[in-house]
Amino acid sequence: AQKVTQAQTEISVVEKEDVTLDCVYETRDTTYYLFWYKQPPSGELVFLIRRNSFDEQNEISGRYSWNFQKSTSSFNFTITASQVVDSAVYFCALSDLFTGNQFYFGTGTSLTVIP
Amino acid sequence: NAGVTQTPKFQVLKTGQSMTLQCAQDMNHEYMSWYRQDPGMGLRLIHYSVGAGITDQGEVPNGYNVSRSTTEDFPLRLLSAAPSQTSVYFCASRPGQVPSGANVLTFGAGSRLTVL
């Protein structure tokens, strides 16, 4: 079965702290894609990153970094030196490689950055 | 370039009423889909379409109908609204390039529906 688990429902940090959002997935596919989306208080869903199952290289984009570990089926997201603008709900999602007809989203982690 | 446009943004219905949520995209995307977002449940797929004339069910299709007569439009119909359908609805589309699973979903701004 395809499943994405985001065990952290809500996280609060003080501005400038680092924070890691966890994502654990289950899939029967050997090839797949993983995604992170951000949903700020305004409500829209914004794409952050995608990663294919072939590539376990970590990725860094400014203050954001992602750690993909196939051995533990995890795709964690770290925000360094958090800012108030990072306050949002973050979703991790899984898609099979070839059809991509069904994206499986986690339940989301609500991050609040306190100034 | 408008992207994915959803209307209306807000709607209040009474139990048993019908309505259609509209979704249009101007990116020539082959794939379109509808999700509902409920507290603690994340986003769940209702229906999707891989092209004009082709639709299929997602995880939570009951109570909803869809059709895809054009590439641009993918309306979601509630034939007899129920309080359990109170939710925020998102339309999303993506290109059809292979491999399809690599393509990023682009979301509309959402439609908040309340059924009394």
Of the candidates B42, B98, B99, the beta carbon closest to that of A91 is on B42
C-alpha angle B18/B73/B23, rounded to 5°?
60
Residue B101: band (very low, low, confident or very high) from pLDDT cuts 50, 70, 90: low
A17 to chain B nearest CA, in Å? 26
Residue A98: band (very low, low, confident or very high) from pLDDT cuts 50, 70, 90: confident
CA separation, residue A33 to residues A3, A70, A75, A106 (Å): 13, 12, 11, 14
Of the candidates B41, B99, B106, the beta carbon closest to that of A107 is on B41
Which of B33, B46, B100, B103 to mutate: most A Cβ within 10 Å? B100
What local confidence, expressed as pLDDT, does residue A3 receive?
A: 93
Residues of B in contact with A103 (CB under 8 A): 33, 43, 45, 105
Q: Is A30 an interface residue toward B (CB < 8 Å)? A: no
Residue B70, beta-bridge partner list? none
Residue B1: band (very low, low, confident or very high) from pLDDT cuts 50, 70, 90: low
> Mean pLDDT of all residues in chain A?
93
Least confident span in A6-10, A49-53, B46-50, B66-70: A49-53
What local confidence, expressed as pLDDT, does residue A1 receive?
A: 77
pLDDT exceeds cutoff 70 at B84: yes
pLDDT exceeds cutoff 90 at A67: yes
Q: What is the mean pLDDT of residues B69-86?
A: 96
What local confidence, expressed as pLDDT, does residue A56 receive?
A: 82
Instruction: Report the share of chain A in percent with pLDDT over 70.
Output: 100
Q: What is the mean pLDDT of residues A56-73?
A: 90
C-alpha angle A2/A69/A4, rounded to 5°?
25
Residue B100: band (very low, low, confident or very high) from pLDDT cuts 50, 70, 90: low
- Reported as a single tens digit per residue, the pLDDT across B3-47 is 999 999 999 999 999 999 999 999 999 999 999 999 888 999 999
Q: How far apart are CA B93 and CA A18, in angstroms?
A: 33
